[in-house]
Amino acid sequence: MKCETHSSEATAVCTYCGRALCPQCERASSSPRIACSEACADALAKADRAIKLVLTKNIQGARITAYYLYILGAIFVAVGIYGYILYPRMRVVHPMAAACGIALIAFGFSFHRLAKRG
Ligand SMILES: [Zn+2]
Ligand SMILES: [Zn+2]
């Protein structure tokens, strides 16, 4: 593979457009990633920002999901405890509700941890 500008042996490829680059072309770019031109470096930076934005949104989504799970879990636990007080005879249903609630809260914790990692 030869560099299109200098017709010397290419050592790299533009991350954005895939053009073959020699070490001289590679150095022309200010981007941390290999790009053939400032335009390609700009496009790469824009793509990076877009990816970061999507990731941030996903993290926010995970955090919201975690809070929903906490609330839902708390409701289930409350129903279990409240039901146990109101209807002590229904012994199977209430612990099950409480267990579901605890499981939901545990799910919420794992989502929260996921959100924090990002
Ligand atoms: Zn390029
Ligand atoms: Zn070149």
Residues 70-82: tens digit of each pLDDT: 999 999 999 999 8
Domain assignment present for residue 41? The answer is no
pLDDT digits (tens, 9 = 90+) for 34-56: 888 888 889 999 999 999 999 88
Domain count along the chain: 2
Cα 92 to ligand 2 centroid, rounded to whole Å: 75
Taking residue 96's Cβ as centre, other Cβ atoms within 10 Å add up to 13
If asked whether residues 52 and 103 sit together in one domain, one would say: yes
Domain assignment present for residue 11? The answer is yes
Taking residue 11's Cβ as centre, other Cβ atoms within 10 Å add up to 15
In order, the DSSP letters of 1-49 are -B-TTT-SBP-EE-TTT--EE-HHHHHH--SSS--SSHHHHHHHHHHHH
If asked whether residues 57 and 113 sit together in one domain, one would say: yes
Identify the pLDDT of residue 5.
Answer: 83
Provide the domain limits for residue 24: 1-36
Identify the pLDDT of residue 90.
Answer: 75
Cα 38 to ligand 1 centroid, rounded to whole Å: 8
If asked whether residues 51 and 96 sit together in one domain, one would say: yes
pLDDT digits (tens, 9 = 90+) for 7-30: 889 998 988 999 998 988 877 666
Closest ligand (CA of 12): 2
Cα 71 to ligand 1 centroid, rounded to whole Å: 49
What is each CA distance from 41 to 8, 17, 48, 57, in whole angstroms? 22, 10, 10, 24
Identify the pLDDT of residue 111.
Answer: 86
pLDDT at residue 115 is higher than 60: yes
Domain assignment present for residue 42? The answer is no
Closest ligand (CA of 35): 1
If asked whether residues 56 and 96 sit together in one domain, one would say: yes
Cα 9 to ligand 1 centroid, rounded to whole Å: 17
Cα 35 to ligand 2 centroid, rounded to whole Å: 11
Does pTM surpass 0.85? no
Tokens 């209430």 belong to 94
If asked whether residues 65 and 23 sit together in one domain, one would say: no
